[in-house]
Amino acid sequence: MRKVKPVPPERLPALLRRMPKAELHMHIEGSLEPELMFALAARNGLTVPYADVATLRRAYVFNNLQEFLDIYHAGTLVLRTEQDFYDMAWAYLQRVAADQVLHTEIFFDTQTHTGHGLSADVVINGLHRACTDAQAQLGLSASLILCFLRHLSEVEAFEALEQALPLRDKLVGVGLASSELGHPPEKFARVFARARSLGFRLVAHAGEEGPPAYLWSALDVLKVERIDHGVQALRDPALVARLVHDQIPLTVCPLSNLKLKVFPTLARHKLGRMLDAGLVATVNSDDPAYFGGYLNENFTQTFAALGLTAQHAYQLAHNSFAASFIDASSMRVFQDRLTEVFETFA
Ligand code: ADE
Ligand code: ZN
């Protein structure tokens, strides 16, 4: 990795905000801000079961992943039309364009929404139109990854995959999200095998709350190319060696880990140790409307808490492009822009 010039700690937040970067782990339903949630509810003749925006925000206190998922699911009930999905994604895309995000890979699921009586097309078409407009109007590259919900059955995941196939061209890959404990990756071995045979890129959440064994099976059974979270990997030295050897990227989400009590404080987060171990870590926001910050907040707060440096910043941003599913020529363009910012930053 290129050596970059040192930057004094007080100048680091400005560099972090200015540096070009990719986001590889965010759930679009987790970007639904309370203000937009109330607006969509009103537009659809629905009510949010909280008095107002401030009361809703005060409910965003979680002790674990499941407590979050319950509130997050309630929030998705206001999404009813293609325009709702467009508006939610467009708000996120505009927001992260301001964070110097050049490329984003957006997680979404259809199972939540088909469970509410919507068709998968409504979800995918609305999100995809926002991604197309982001490229045209913001110069921001955006692609979509369909996540299966792991608390549901393998049969239901197969149904979600089949429903998405007519819109195959609007998706880059598939992933695995929702309640991790008790739902190991191998539950979805056959769905991932089918997605792989169809040419989808493969990722899965593993090692957020779950054990290192879930990373092993995500790699060896699902054959994923990236692991989402993966912060439990350091508990298993053989696993770390494998991840380093195969240069498997880990999409780490520090503020998510803090809010879901994976780590008690940001100062106890393992991001620095992961980088020191040679792991291909990246920084991501996961569910920014719920966890207190978009991508740049994740960078600035984590760097302040862990005392990370400009060299770490360059490494993380470089990793974010290298770990993405963009074509090789775009990747080089983005990484060159990154290098230029570091060389000219004063
Ligand atoms: N869905 C949305 N956010 C998630 C997370 N942090 N882990 C698993 N599933 C999710
Ligand atoms: Zn996630």
Structural domain including 293 reads 21-344
Q: Is 111's C-beta closer than 6 angstroms to any atom of ligand 1?
A: no
Residue 16, in any domain of the structure: no
Domain annotation covers residue 6: no
Q: Classify residue 116: in a domain, yes or no.
A: yes
The answer to whether residue 11 is domain-embedded is no
Active site residues: 208
> Closest ligand 1 atom to the C-alpha of 29?
2
pLDDT, residue 346, reads 87
What pLDDT was estimated at residue 257? 98
Distance between CA atoms of residues 100 and 17, nearest Å: 7
- Flag whether 94 is in a domain: yes
The pLDDT tens digits along the chain (346 residues) read 899 999 999 999 999 999 999 999 999 999 999 999 999 999 999 999 999 999 999 999 999 999 999 999 999 999 999 999 999 999 999 999 999 999 999 999 999 999 999 999 999 999 999 999 999 999 999 999 999 999 999 999 999 999 999 999 999 999 999 999 999 999 999 999 999 999 999 999 999 999 999 999 999 999 999 999 999 999 999 999 999 999 999 999 999 999 999 999 999 999 999 999 999 999 999 999 999 999 999 999 999 999 999 999 999 999 999 999 999 999 999 999 999 999 999 8
What local confidence, expressed as pLDDT, does residue 202 receive?
Answer: 99
Confidence at residue 343, expressed as pLDDT on a 0 to 100 scale: 97
Please indicate whether residue 65, judged by its CB atom, sits closer than 6 Å to ligand 1.
yes
For ligand 1, is residue 256 a contact (CB within 6 Å)? yes
Q: Whose CA is nearest to atom 8 of ligand 1?
A: 178
- Give the ligand 1 atom nearest the CA of 180: 8
Is 14 inside any structural domain? Answer: no
pLDDT score of 114: 98
CA gap 137, 312 in Å, rounded: 31
Q: Which residue minimizes the CA distance to atom 2 of ligand 1? A: 27
CATH code, 158? 3.20.20.140
**Closest CA to ligand 1's atom 1:** 178
Ligand 1 close to Cβ of residue 287 (< 6 A): yes
Question: Is 130 part of a structural domain of the chain?
Answer: yes
Specify if 40 maps to a domain: yes
Which ligand 1 atom is nearest residue 30's CA? 2
How far lies 39's CA from each of 8, 46, 52, 72, 86, in Å?
Answer: 43, 10, 11, 17, 14
**Total structural domains in the chain?**
1
Ligand 1 pocket residue status of 205, Cβ below 6 Å: yes
